Amino acid sequence: MAPNLPTENIHSHNLKQLLASKIDEHNKKVSTFRKLHGGTVVQNLTVDMIYGGMRSLKALLTETSEIDPEKGIQFRGYAFEECLKLLPKATNGEQPLPEGVFFLLLTGEIPNEAQVEEISREWARRSEVPEHVEKTLKTFPKTLHPMAQMSAAIASLAGDSKFAKAFANKVPKSSYWEYVYEDAMDLLAKLPKIAAMIYRNLYKDGVVHGEIDSSKDWSSNYASFLGNNSPQFIELIRLYNTIYCDHEGGNVIAHTCQLVASSLSNPYLAYSAAMGALAGPLAGGAHAEVLFFLNKLTSEHGYDIDEENLRFLLWEHLISSQVIPGYGHAVLRTTDPRDTAFRSFGLKHLPNNPYMKLCSALYNTVPDILIEQGKVKNPYTNVEAHSGVLLQHFGIQEVDFYPVMIGVARAIGCMSQMIWDRGMGLPIERPKSISTESLMKLVNEKKTVVFD
Ligand code: CMX
């Protein structure tokens, strides 16, 4: 169930002030909870969890969002559909402004329009990218992957870290979060231009056209930096950033960011490391995999594949031990509601796009086939099923750039959580590792109970 509904009770539009009271209140609650239940066992650890990438091990704390296997992502308890409905939109827009989801992830409250507007203004005010970053990006060879450029550009902002300076000046631990908040706001403000610089350098004329327009929202400026001012593309960017903003803490991007920042490394270095994690094909490569798959189908069989033929081709694909990209999920057991939002956008704005039509044919065919095959736990679409098709339609054709776009969006969630991590005074992460030999010994000595 969703927590408190919209925020008539919040008179102050000052996000930092509101956050200070929220953190204080939350810390008191956690302190009482830990006093009462600090020794309570939550989950048993099995040998398979240790060998299996810690799957389903509940050992990380993330306040901003949580995935419900049946309902999908919940941002502070609000289902994605509720967020689409409740978060403020731009004038004449239908998609939520990502500034609003940032407010929600930080505070647990649905913001009003003035609160969202304040974030837009604040990000516009902080958006200037230092000259040295721009120059550094220009010196990179075109062969350097956009994610390596993204990671390097973010790391090179670290010299301006307000948190690093405050830490060196020995500010009290209780105020760390305030400086992390400042860095988070600065980073979020600059990311659209950094991403656009990478895009324009690598694939276009090397020039980011236009200055920041402080009367516009974050996504409008981002879209125009990328080189497309069309209202539909701006709406897609708003939706895209809201969709990819956060996905609880266990994914490799969020986990890397949280781990690195736990050493009190500054937010820029932590997020730069997270970009290294996102660059891996198992993390940021799925948008592209869907497009490669659609491309393979259409280049061999054209765009109008009838249902019988499509079923045959899908079986052929599965029999050759390949997965159908855009379907299945490690945690979710239903259609990802974020894909439902992307699909609705596609059906509304690009109904005649040939890839969109093929996606619809797949949408109606793949789940039955995967169910018949009998292996997958979830035969329905995930968030990647339509995302690449939408970006391609609006001219972002370069698949290597897609993880950079996820990187811009995911900073919303990672930075929100980092502010809370420092606000809660969470310690440096230091789990215990164990060798196979010691693990076998432990199991043989029955020092631990092993569950199925
Ligand atoms: N097509 C064919 N087979 C699939 C499948 C798919 N889309 N999804 C899962 N399977 C298979 C698995 O390969 C596994 O087979 P084996 O037992 O032979 O190894 C079996 O079904 C059981 O897998 P699962 O428990 O249902 O799913 P996992 O947690 O192992 O994997 C995921 C999840 C996303 C990696 C997988 O569904 C997949 O590879 N999907 C296609 C790639 C894709 O769309 N990735 C984007 C994920 C987006 C996101 O995470 O949000």
The response to whether residue 406 sits with its C-beta less than 6 Å from ligand 1 reads: no
Residues 152, 201, single domain; the answer is yes
Question: Where are the extended beta strands (E) located within 30-175?
Answer: 65-68, 72-75, 78-79
Band the pLDDT of 450: cuts 50, 70, 90: low
Which atom of ligand 1 lies nearest, measured to the CA of 251? 50
CA of 423 to the centre of ligand 1 (A): 37
3-state SS assignment for residue 12? coil
2 — pLDDT class (breaks 50, 70, 90)? very low
Rounded to the nearest whole angstrom, what is the distance from the C-alpha of residue 315 to the centroid of ligand 1? 16
3-state secondary structure of 180: helix
pLDDT at 91 over 90: yes
Give yes or no for residue 120 having a pLDDT over 90: yes
Which residue's CA is the nearest one to ligand 1's atom 18? 375
Task: Evaluate whether residue 431 is within a structural domain.
Answer: no
Distance 328 CA to ligand 1 centre (A): 5
Q: Is residue 324 situated within a structural domain?
A: yes
DSSP character for 72? E
Q: Is the CB of 363 under 6 A from ligand 1?
A: no
362 Cα–ligand 1 center, Å: 16
Mean pLDDT throughout 193-216? 95
Say whether both 415 and 373 belong to one domain: no
Per-residue pLDDT of 129-140, as tens digits, reads 999 999 999 999
Name the closest-CA residue to atom 50, ligand 1.
329
Say whether pLDDT at 3 is over 50. no
Asked if residue 323 has its Cβ within 6 Å of ligand 1, the reply is: yes
Ligand 1 mean position, distance from CA 231 (Å): 35
Q: Whose CA is nearest to atom 42 of ligand 1?
A: 325
Shortest-distance Cα residue to atom 30 of ligand 1:
330
pLDDT digit string (tens) for 266-316?
A: 999 999 999 999 999 888 888 889 999 999 999 999 988 999 999 999 999
The residue type at 358? L
Determine if ligand 1 sits within 6 Å of the CB of residue 324.
yes
In the predicted model, is pLDDT for residue 9 greater than 90?
A: no
- 264 plus 290 within the same structural domain: no
Q: Is residue 405 part of a domain?
A: yes
What does the pLDDT read at residue 282? 85
Is residue 25 one of the residues assigned to a domain?
no
CA-nearest of 343, 296, 298 to 322 is 296
- Atom 36 of ligand 1, residue of closest alpha carbon: 328
From 287, 314, 324, 329, give the residue whose CB has the most ligand 1 atoms within 8 Å, as the site to mutate. Answer: 329
Q: Are 318 and 379 in contact (CB under 8 A)?
A: no
pLDDT tens digits for range 226-244 = 999 999 999 999 999 999 9
- Quickly state the pLDDT bin for 449 (edges 50, 70, 90): low
Which residue is closest in CA terms to ligand 1's atom 38? 328
User: From ligand 1's centre to the CA of 375, what distance in Å?
Assistant: 9
Residue nearest to atom 22 of ligand 1 (CA): 376
pLDDT digits (tens, 9 = 90+) for 346-386: 999 999 999 999 999 999 999 999 999 999 999 999 999 99
Report whether residue 227 contacts ligand 1, using a CB cutoff of 6 Å. no
Structure confidence by residue, pLDDT tens digits, 373-429 = 999 999 999 999 999 999 999 999 999 999 999 999 999 999 999 999 999 999 999
Residue 18 lies in a domain: no
Residue nearest atom 28 in ligand 1 by C-alpha distance: 330
- The helix or strand, by DSSP H or E, that contains position 67, with its residue range, turns out to be strand 65-68
Q: Which of 54, 73, 292, 323 maximizes ligand 1 atoms within 8 Å of its Cβ, making it the mutation to test the pocket?
A: 323
Sheet holding 78-79, edge to edge: 65-68, 72-75, 78-79
Could you tell me if residue 253 is inside a domain?
A: yes
If you write DSSP's letter for every residue of 142-166 in order, what string do you get? Answer: TTS-HHHHHHHHHHTTGGG-HHHHH
Q: Cα–Cα distances in Å, from 21 out to 12, 14, 17, 28, 80?
A: 12, 11, 7, 11, 26
pLDDT score for 330: 83
Same-domain check for residues 153 and 243: yes
pTM: 0.94
**pLDDT recorded at residue 210:** 83
**330 Cα to the center of ligand 1, angstroms:** 7
Would the CB of 377 count as within 6 Å of ligand 1? Answer: yes
Are 404 and 324 part of one and the same domain? Answer: no
Q: How far apart are CA 282 and CA 266, in angstroms?
A: 26
Same-domain pairing of 269 and 120: yes
**The pLDDT of residue 452 is above 90:** no
Domain count, the chain: 2
374 and 404 in a single domain? The answer is: no
**CATH number of the domain to which 352 belongs:** 1.10.230.10
DSSP state of 43: -
What is the C-alpha separation between 192 and 271, in angstroms, rounded?
15
Looking at the domain assignment, is residue 21 inside a domain? no
Q: Whose CA is nearest to atom 40 of ligand 1?
A: 328
Residues 83-95, mean pLDDT to the nearest whole number: 96
Q: Determine the pLDDT at residue 209.
A: 84
Q: Say if residue 1's pLDDT is above 80.
A: no
Residues 227, 179 share a domain: yes
Nearest to 115 by CA among 240, 19, 249: 19
Q: How far is the CA of 383 from the centre of ligand 1 (A)?
A: 13
Percent of the chain past pLDDT 90, that is, above it, reads: 91
Q: What is the pLDDT of residues 12-44, one digit of tens each?
A: 458 999 999 999 999 999 999 999 999 999 999
**Do 180 and 138 belong to one domain?**
yes
Residues 170 and 236 occupy one common structural domain: yes
The answer on 71 and 177 residing in a single domain is yes
What pLDDT, in 10s, does the model give residues 145-178? 999 999 999 999 999 999 999 999 999 999 999 9
Ligand 1, atom 46: closest residue by C-alpha: 286
Q: Which regions of 95-215 does DSSP assign to beta strands (E)?
A: none
Does the pLDDT value for residue 250 go beyond 80?
Answer: yes
Q: Is residue 29 part of a domain?
A: no
**Ligand 1 centroid vs 371 CA: distance in angstroms?**
13
Residue 8 pLDDT exceeds 90: no
Q: Which domain holds residue 118?
A: 65-280+398-424
